[in-house]
Amino acid sequence: MGRYYYQRYLKLKKAMQQIPFREHFVNDGDGDDDDDEESRAGAAALVFVCAPPSYHNKRSSSTTSRTKLLSLLLLSLLSCTFILTPHALSLFSFADSFGAEDEGLVAADVNAPLCSSISNGTICCDRSGIRTDVCIMKGDVRTNSASSSIFLYKNTNGFINYVSSMVEEKELQHEKIRPYTRKWETSVMDTIDELDLVVKKENETANHHCDVVHDVPAVFFSTGGYTGNVYHEFNDGILPLYITSQHLKKKVVFVILEYHNWWIMKYGDILSRLSDYPPIDFSGDKRTHCFPEAIVGLRIHDELTVDPSLMRGNKNAIDFRNVLDQAYWPRIRGLIQDEEREAREKLSLSPSSDPSFKNVKEVQGDQSKKPKLVILSRNGSRAITNENSLVKMAEDIGFQVQVVRPDRTSELAKIYRALNSSDVMVGVHGAAMTHFLFMKPGSVFIQVIPLGTDWAAETYYGEPARKLGLKYIGYTILPRESSLYDQYDKNDPVLRDPSSVNEKGWQYTKTIYLDGQNVRLNLRRFQKRLVRAYDYSINRISQNCHHQSQ
């Protein structure tokens, strides 16, 4: 914004140099009326930009001293600086550079770190990222859900108040933002509610009182878009929420656009580890909420990860997983206690000679020595059609096997419990692979990669899993292991050259490879991966036992 107005000033300055300005200056009677024409043209141009129209139309016939006139010019100049370029230049930096070369002024504005420091009464928006926009508002921040607006009231005292009253400017600054982290994807961003962020003069607060006053910052974000898909819920929402708010140490209020009760129920345990306050439904809560600061929009780093180089304190994906631990373990302990109580009740009601109960502890102890393998099972497309045979093979290798079938209604604490206690997770590429975030670093993640999904499998899950500290194994199926093998000619590009099909567009990929494909594993081929995972897990368990015994 500051650069725009400075460039405008330069154009006006050049134009005004062609016009005689002597009549706008008052001869002070000392005979020295041949001042530098460029300085006079520049001053006049600035007055033209910032002063009210009547200033130019009324010819001065006064004999007021030149000192007073220069004071008025300086007043106008300083007013412009504060009104038009609040993000770029402070009063002193502008005054220091007023005689400098044009290149120096522009360079200083361009090179200033975006939103590196923000003063009260200011909005600073970082729109440099391809994934998201984030705006920060500091000062007297007030919500107005009826107009989908957030107002920031600024104290325009002194000469700034004088200039703003002359131009009768009701909005000192106005920004628009859709607080969702898929900025590049127009089709989904068009469905996200847009917010107006407006800076107004403080004297307009009389008719806009606070119903609820908060003494901590707010973070505004949307749970619209692709919410309903667990990958997007974590990648577009939960992880960015952690990235944006963790430095506030729970002293923050979350204000949610497109608020869903089911989303709050599903992720309430995580929200409680990021904020000490209940979330607010922006559209549903018509009260005016007032905050000392607001962050509008969420920051995002990459697919399902946290980049420590961009985080305060070098927080990383493992730190995020520690938050999940804190969120879910209270519930998991409750589940364990319930199961133990039910087991005791069954034992007390059964005859002491019943063989099904006499060796419960022995069986549990024996199972705990085996590496645990969790299979994330899919229904519909990309299902493993010989899953039962896979389970039997894994048990024969020596695994304790648990099959988990997550869906939208699954309680995340139960899924977390299963994967947190596992040594190996196996699943076919898809949104459910997001649950690798629940695994302990050092565990094994085997992703079955159907035809046509190589790039997505690596980008969305393989690489992020490594960043979490997992041992990642990608199992790319052969054409014979795909249900597509029976639907297409053996030389069809669908089987021979999936990348050429993907180049035709997302709809081809989705229809053919995501929605229209199941997997029948070559168990002899897949067994090699399971044996590797088993040997790795046994060695890891032995090392852990050795460390615990020391």
Predicted pLDDT of residue 64 = 45
Cα–Cα distance list, 494 to 452, 456, 508 (Å): 8, 17, 10
Q: How far apart are CA 444 and CA 472, in angstroms?
A: 6
Percent of the chain with pLDDT over 90: 64
| β-strands 149-154, 400-404 pairing | unpaired
Query: Looking at the chain, which residues constitute the CATH 3.40.50 domain(s)?
Result: 372-549
Question: Does 221 have pLDDT greater than 80?
Answer: yes
- Residue 204's pLDDT band, with cuts at 50, 70 and 90, is low
For 89, other C-beta atoms within 10 Å of its C-beta total 21
pTM of the entire structure?
Answer: 0.76
Predicted pLDDT of residue 384 = 98
The three-state secondary structure class of 359 is coil
User: How much is the average pLDDT of 219-243?
Assistant: 97
Give phi and psi for 283, each to the nearest 5. Answer: -80, -35
Structure tokens at 272: 């409680």
Model pLDDT for residues 67-123, shown as the tens digit of each residue: 555 555 555 555 554 444 444 433 333 333 333 333 333 333 343 336 757 888 999
Beta-carbon contacts of 81 under 8 Å, excluding residues fewer than 6 positions away, are 89, 91, 94
Q: What are the residues facing 463 on neighbouring strands?
A: none
User: Where is 548: in which H helix or E strand?
Assistant: helix 523-549
- Residue 61's pLDDT band, with cuts at 50, 70 and 90, is very low
**Better pLDDT: 548 or 13:** 548
For 232, other C-beta atoms within 10 Å of its C-beta total 18
Question: Does 393 have pLDDT greater than 80?
Answer: yes
CATH architecture of 372-549: 3-Layer(aba) Sandwich (3.40)
Question: Does 177 have pLDDT greater than 90?
Answer: yes
Question: Does 236 have pLDDT greater than 70?
Answer: yes
Cα–Cα distance list, 226 to 187, 235, 431 (Å): 11, 10, 12
User: How much is the average pLDDT of 338-358?
Assistant: 71
Question: Does 278 have pLDDT greater than 90?
Answer: yes
- Residue 205's pLDDT band, with cuts at 50, 70 and 90, is low
What number of CA atoms fall less than 13 Å from residue 308's CA on the CB side?
10
Model pLDDT for residues 192-201, shown as the tens digit of each residue: 999 999 999 8
Q: How far apart are CA 211 and CA 429, in angstroms?
A: 48
**Better pLDDT: 340 or 178:** 178
- Residue 63's pLDDT band, with cuts at 50, 70 and 90, is very low
Predicted pLDDT of residue 158 = 54
Structure tokens at 363: 């069986």
Question: Does 324 have pLDDT greater than 90?
Answer: yes
